[in-house]
Amino acid sequence: MAQIHTSNQDKPQTENVSVPHEQGIHVVRSITINRSAEDLYNFWHDPTHMPDVFKYIESVQVTGPDRAHWTIKLPANQKAEFDVEVYTDVPNEVISWRSLPESEMANAGSVRFRPAPSERGTEVQLTIEFVPPGGALGKAVLNLFGEAPAQYIGQYLREFKQLMETGEKATTEGQTSGRQDEVEQ
């Protein structure tokens, strides 16, 4: 039976919305991955895996049931930190989270897993919303994603696909550009 986590007596009450309606940046991207929904869900269910997918995530530390502390890397050696809670968790179907009050960056998101047509794996839909903080930190967040946050999120999903289908992400890091003066003879 699917289990949905919502606020209950055992959890501290929090605001229901971390990103106000029609504020901030909203990105929705999907990709089909040739793996089972269970495999993909299990990877996402452990938030400490997120630095393996999103290069701007420095660390994720689990701080309690359905809670984690995130540190993200920003341009100019800046960082932002925030705490999130998972408020929906349906095994092999969806995980939804939101930042807690007092976080440096209001954010929310979900990842959904659906069978792909013709039994070709799983469709993964990632939705991310965030409101960059003000001042220098806000500018650094915007510089991280530039003019096209959807492009970056799409790239990270493609890297997630590579990781899940092959066990590694393709990279050109450490390779020469092929220019004659860089190639040893």
Q: How far apart are CA 94 and CA 165, in angstroms?
A: 20
Amino acid letter, 72: I
In this structure, what token pair is assigned to residue 146?
């530039």
Q: Is 116 helix (H, G, I), strand (E, B) or coil?
A: coil
Amino acid letter, 127: T
> What's the pTM?
0.75
In this structure, what token pair is assigned to residue 101?
């009050």
- CA quadruple 168, 60, 129, 98: dihedral, nearest 10: 140
Q: How far apart are CA 26 and CA 118, in angstroms?
A: 30
Q: Residue 121: its pLDDT value, please?
A: 95
Q: Residue 89: its pLDDT value, please?
A: 96
Q: Residue 181: its pLDDT value, please?
A: 61
The number of beta carbons lying within 10 Å of the beta carbon of residue 172 is: 7
Average confidence (pLDDT) per 10 residues, the chain, 185 residues: 36 49 78 96 94 90 95 79 94 96 87 94 93 60 62 87 86 62 56
Q: Residue 136: its pLDDT value, please?
A: 52
User: Among all chains, which residue has been given the structure tokens 């990632």?
Assistant: 126
Q: Residue 10: its pLDDT value, please?
A: 40
Q: How far apart are CA 52 and CA 65, in angstroms?
A: 22
Domains of the chain: 25-165 (3.30.530.20)
Bridge partners of 128, per DSSP, are: 27, 109
Bridge partners of 112, per DSSP, are: 94, 125
| Backbone CA torsion sign across 22, 65, 49, 115 | negative
